[in-house]
Amino acid sequence: MIDGHGDDLFRFGNKIKINFSTNIPQAVDHSGLLTHLSKAGAIFKNYPEPEARSVEQKLAIRHEVDAGNVIVTNGATEAIYLLAHAYRDGKSAIIVPTFREYQDACRVYGHSLQFITSLDDIEDRHSMVWLCNPNNPNGQVYDKERLLTAIDSHPATLFIVDQAYAAFSVKDVLSVADIMIRKNVVMLHSLTKQFVVPGLRVGYAIGPEDILKRLRSLRMPWSVNSIAIEAALYLLENSSNYVFDAMLLHNQANWLCDEMRGLGMEVNDTDCNFLLARLPYGTAARLKSWLIGHYGILIRDASNFEGLTVRHFRVAAQTSQENMTLIKALKEWISSFQ
């Protein structure tokens, strides 16, 4: 899906002052990374590694697995498309509402799709099950034991568990140890989310070596560029500078939730830093346009998520002051209908 993602900041030039459309906090100091990259000028002069093996090795050490159990990709999205390609013409179940790229990738590679709403809807006939944990767009985390029970109950089904936002969860998500003792799970991660560098596009998958070999055979060379590789190596070496207070962000999200409910909006409970809301009046598209024009605020119109409506939108907690500005703006919007 080329169009329709959140964080479409590029469309609006300098109009945006506060970005709630992205699912990650914006107040991050990247001065160390920028200084490091400015001193690594040689990375521009040569081709990158055909595969980002140096990053894979560092991740393997970090997660205490063999390097063959890790594949670094151009964002988690490349891994999604590689998986859909590797199992083309499969029978995929997608638990919705969730990230649109699962269904788009599956359609590109001829999968028959079934949209389901819970783990209880999984059937043995499904060759693949796609889920996001914490789930985008509602921020909810699957109960760990229920999820593992579902995985073990369908050993012939490959589960793709996208944990790109795990760093922001206040509930237990699956661990690498959980999946490495199983042969039917691939876990997706995003360094660009964990370290708040989405423009660099660095993701990775962890799973059985035979499955990842299939992915390697299908990918194009140099899909991860030299700057992204160098940045990933630096970030992994300096990960202690990028530890988020997930509970603080969750508390801010809960504050937003309470305030928005007080304005008559339906808001899902969340287990992380972002949340899904439904307007009582108007549409998310109109609200988005109004917020940009009046406050320079960008939100995520969530109407294109499977199963949602034109009134759904998503926001991620930012600083306390920025969150208060959003609520002030939403109050003004709602009052225009009363």
Per-residue pLDDT tens for 314-332? 999 999 999 999 999 999 9
Average pLDDT of 29-40? Answer: 88
User: For residue 103, is pLDDT > 90?
Assistant: yes
Q: What is the pLDDT of residue 5?
A: 60
- According to DSSP, residue 249 is labeled H
Q: What is the pLDDT of residue 27?
A: 74
pTM of the model: 0.94
Q: What proportion of the chain, given as a percentage, has pLDDT over 70?
A: 97
SS (H, E, C) the chain: CCCCCCCCHHHCCCCCCEECCCCCCCCCCCHHHHHHHHCCHHHHCCCCCCCCHHHHHHHHHHHCCCHHHEEEECHHHHHHHHHHHHCCCCEEEEECCCCCHHHHHHHHCCCEEEEECCHHHCCCCCCEEEEECCCCCCCCCCCHHHHHHHHHHCCCCEEEEECCCHHHCCCCCCCHHHHHCCCCEEEEEEHHHHCCCHHHCCEEEECCHHHHHHHHHHCCCCCCCHHHHHHHHHHHHCHHHHCCCHHHHHHHHHHHHHHHHHCCCEECCCCCCEEEEECCCCCHHHHHHHHHHHHCEECEECCCCCCCCCCEEEEECCCHHHHHHHHHHHHHHHHCCC
Q: What is the pLDDT of residue 3?
A: 52
| Of 28 and 277, the one with more pLDDT | 277
Q: What is the pLDDT of residue 104?
A: 96
User: For residue 49, is pLDDT > 70?
Assistant: yes
Q: What is the pLDDT of residue 23?
A: 86
Q: What is the pLDDT of residue 234?
A: 95
Q: Give per-residue pLDDT as tens, 232-283.
A: 999 999 998 888 899 999 999 999 999 999 999 999 999 999 999 999 999 9
201 in Cβ contact with 74 (< 8 Å): yes
What mean pLDDT, rounded, does the chain reach?
A: 93
Q: What is the pLDDT of residue 29?
A: 86
User: For residue 2, is pLDDT > 60?
Assistant: no
User: For residue 12, is pLDDT > 80?
Assistant: no
Q: What is the pLDDT of residue 316?
A: 95
User: For residue 228, is pLDDT > 80?
Assistant: yes
119 in Cβ contact with 132 (< 8 Å): no
Span of 2-6, 74-78, 187-191, 277-281 with lowest mean pLDDT: 2-6
Alpha carbon 126 to chain centroid, angstroms: 23
Q: What is the pLDDT of residue 16?
A: 87
